Structure 1
Amino acid sequence: MPFTSKVVFMAVALACAAGARADDVIKIGHVAATSGPIAHLGKDNENGARMAVDELNAKGVLIGGKRYRVVLQAEDDAGDPKQGAAVAQKLVDAKVQGVVGHENSGTTIPASRIYHAAGIPQISPSASNPKYTRQGYNTAFRNIANDEQLGAALARYAVQAGKAKRIAVVDDRTAYGQGVADEFAKGIKRAGAGASIVAQQYTNDKASDFSAILTAIKASKPDLIFFGGMDAVGGPMLRQMRQLGMAVQFMGGDGLCSDSLARLAGDAMRDGQVICAEAGGVEPAQQKGMDDFRAAYRRKFGIGVETYAPYAYDALLTMVQAMQQAGSPEPARYLPVLAKIRHQGVTGNIAFDARGDVQDGVLTIYTFRGGKRQQVAVVK
């Protein structure tokens, strides 16, 4: 064979080999706020997804008789809806085959429109606003309970276990914070038992001075304050409550319920003062799987799980299982399988209802003692 022919032949062979290698890659996007005040929570989600990818690649992923390597394209939306939409379009342009994320409801909801238009399946492991799965998008799923379940459970707990009568509500006006606060307020009205909302105030997710709203709340003499927002705001709010001599119970949803809350609140948090709920959890029979995951996470990253790393881990594994059962990583092929999936995860048994919400969503209620988060109950 002449030299020039050999060069051409080798170039074609290399191009074909490169093309084959490209075909052997499954690209999955992950989006969370890995910068800004809740970066510790966003990185926790990303770490969970990375654990799943590393485990899959270590074992080898076989789909339709072909071996694949999974690649995670991790992006930062900073918890900002506009940045979330821009990142979503970036992932669509990169031709990802699925997305785990986004982290919070304010970015997940606008991003979901973009993924749906492109036909790309999306599983959020932490966005809890009911609106996300009520847009009619067959590409939108979540593997945690939503705010209707979470708000109602916390309201029942406040009235029945906490014996709260006079309740103040504060939210940060984000899709998540306002959504969970509204559902909690609805739950209080349904609970009856003499409980009522005596004050309602608003802040924002970047605020640091709460003296005005807390002074107004103090005048209403509440025995419980419910905060719809994240730990980065809830911690400083607890500090200022102590400065004002407000030794009342403080309650919130999953955004508040992180292992970092004690650090953010400093010495302002009394044992048992804070009650919060994680929009997920496992029942006793499944606890070992969750404990093993937490131990493996600490070994890998040198830190403990914040909140939703196990759910990001399960979301990614659920997506890949759907690809395997469909015999293809192409979104149009595995999406119908994902809608009917049954995945046994570290967070429990995952299956989705017609809207894309997880079936039989479980909630875990926590308090804090000695600066450590402690489980109180697992409820549905």
Structure 2
Amino acid sequence: MLVLFLIATTSSVGFAQIYDLGGMYTYHYRDGRYSDWGDFSLHGSRIAIDELNESGVLGGARIRMTNENTIDYHCWPENAALMAETLMKKGILVLTGAGCSGPAVDIARVAEKYKIPVISNGSNASMLSSAEEFPYFVRVVSPSEQYEGYLINVAAHFGVEEIAYFYTTDAWGLGARDVIHEYTQQRDINIAQEYSYPRDTPYDEIKSYMNKVKQAGIRHIVNTSPTPDTVMIFRALHELEMNEPGYSFYAAEMISADEAPEVVAGSLGYFAPMVELVPSPKLSQFRDALEKRLGKPVDPSSKAFFYGALSYDHMLAVGYAIRDIQDAGESVTSQNMMTYLRRMDFDGTTGHVSLVRGTNDRANMPIQIVNSHGYKDNGTTVDFVSVGRVDPATGELILNEDSIVWPGNVTTPPKQ
């Protein structure tokens, strides 16, 4: 009896349940450029995994995301579905990351086929809201209506009556187009010129479109395209000498902190929406953990830090779902995970995290409006300053006009 008891005890201690996760993150873009926000996302996830395992939240179980189960998909739709399928065939419990909307649509369709949940830390395409159409997908961000729409509200606040509009024809860009059209109609803003094109369209083509905008005398420009394409927009604005007083620029994406000087110069004074990180002990602890992991200070106002925090929270959602299933005495399966992920309800680094009932969307996500002030004093890092916020309860836009810098490095808004 003693021998049998020792064997049983050793088995329970030596063979703790391990739940394998898959990850699709962007460390580099398709052209080889470093993606700081995608890299920070992966670090944020790994910090959360370590903390969940060490805290005892999962009881005797552990979660892991091996390098072999983590793929750099370059924020690109081509082969994204095949990559997701490769991971799901390995029997992962949940697929994490998937922060780019275009690829996320294809990934979510594969998830339904294999009945394995996908939780995204950043894909905000409006079409992904439907729990009926995408039953194995959830996200810790709000849909694009609560991002791009506020750009038009900012423009309307300053009396803009006419814009040129640029967008990409991927799933996210097309969804953003619908939002921009709806909000410009509501605000009685005329889209005088509109340009659509595939992702990674050659720079010279985008520059030619921008030159037409300049020749037409349109001075207010809205852009909803992924970061690499947004970078080309700002490069064109710089080369065409359009970053001057009298212009205003609005983009759905924040550029990375270490973009090329001509891109930073072209983007000076533009507005972008981003999750608002309210100071809290949890946020401070995450920042400390991230700096320790990277071995260097991080900029808490950077796009990379925002995505790192969102990624940390989306991994917490996975861990808490496992905990809740175990507490309910149920089996931790992918299908049960999908059920419990829809019940997420916790305070994370980015605020309270829960879903709008019947959707795949985060509820009441705090959003701020940031404004590019060019470089920080160090001359190497982009300086994004928060100049406004959206009340999550009422949707009211509140701007601090005294903090805004406009194109041409002036503090006076364009005359209409």
Q: Please, what TM-score do these two structures have when normalized by structure 1?
A: 0.85
Match of 2:386 among 372, 375, 379: 375
Match of 2:46 among 50, 53, 65: 50
Match of 1:166 among 155, 158, 162: 162
Q: What's the secondary structure of 2:344's corresponding residue? A: coil
Question: Is 1:249 aligned with 2:252?
Answer: no
Q: What's the secondary structure of 2:146's corresponding residue? A: helix
Q: Verify the 8 A CA contact 2:21 2:92 in the aligned structure 1.
A: yes
Match of 1:267 among 242, 265, 268: 265
Q: CA deviation at 1:362?
A: 2.4
Q: 2 CA distance for matches of 1:60 and 1:126?
A: 28
Instruction: Tell me the percent identity.
Output: 18
Q: 2 CA distance for matches of 1:264 and 1:313?
A: 32
Q: Verify the 8 A CA contact 1:364 1:378 in the aligned structure 2.
A: yes
Q: 2 CA distance for matches of 1:265 and 1:329?
A: 47
Q: CA deviation at 1:350?
A: 0.9
Q: 2 CA distance for matches of 1:276 and 1:345?
A: 23
Deviations 1:220-270 (A, max 9, x none): 3222111111332323322321222213222111x3354345757143343
> How many residues are treated as equivalent by the alignment?
354
Deviations 1:340-379 (A, max 9, x none): 2211111111111211211113222101114211112221
Match of 1:202 among 196, 205, 208: 196
1:338 match: 341
Deviations 1:75-113 (A, max 9, x none): 122223232101111111111111212121111011111
CA RMSD of aligned residues (A): 2.6
Unaligned runs of 5+ in 1: 1-12
Q: Verify the 8 A CA contact 1:364 1:375 in the aligned structure 2.
A: yes
Q: Verify the 8 A CA contact 2:250 2:272 in the aligned structure 1.
A: yes
CA distance change for structure 1 residues 375 and 287 in 2, over 3 Å: closer, same or farther? farther
1:4 match: none
2:361 match: 357
Question: Is 1:59 aligned with 2:63?
Answer: no
Q: Verify the 8 A CA contact 1:61 1:68 in the aligned structure 2.
A: no
Q: 2 CA distance for matches of 1:105 and 1:29?
A: 18
2:173 match: 177
- Residue 313 of structure 2 aligns with an amino acid whose one-letter code is D
2:19 match: 26
User: Which aligned runs of 4 or more in structure 1 are off by greater than 6 angstroms?
Assistant: 16-20
Q: CA deviation at 1:117?
A: 2.0
Q: CA deviation at 1:315?
A: 0.5
Q: CA deviation at 1:208?
A: 2.3
Match of 2:276 among 259, 273, 281: 281
Q: Verify the 8 A CA contact 1:127 1:142 in the aligned structure 2.
A: yes
Q: Please, what TM-score do these two structures have when normalized by structure 2?
A: 0.78
Question: Is 1:329 aligned with 2:332?
Answer: yes
1:296 match: 289
Q: Verify the 8 A CA contact 1:262 1:269 in the aligned structure 2.
A: no
2:233 match: 237
- Residue 256 of structure 1 aligns with an amino acid whose one-letter code is M
Q: Verify the 8 A CA contact 2:94 2:117 in the aligned structure 1.
A: yes
- Residue 385 of structure 2 aligns with an amino acid whose one-letter code is Q
Q: Verify the 8 A CA contact 1:105 1:176 in the aligned structure 2.
A: yes
Deviations 1:4-45 (A, max 9, x none): xxxxxxxxx9xx969974x62111111123232463332222
CA distance change for structure 1 residues 62 and 313 in 2, over 3 Å: closer, same or farther? same
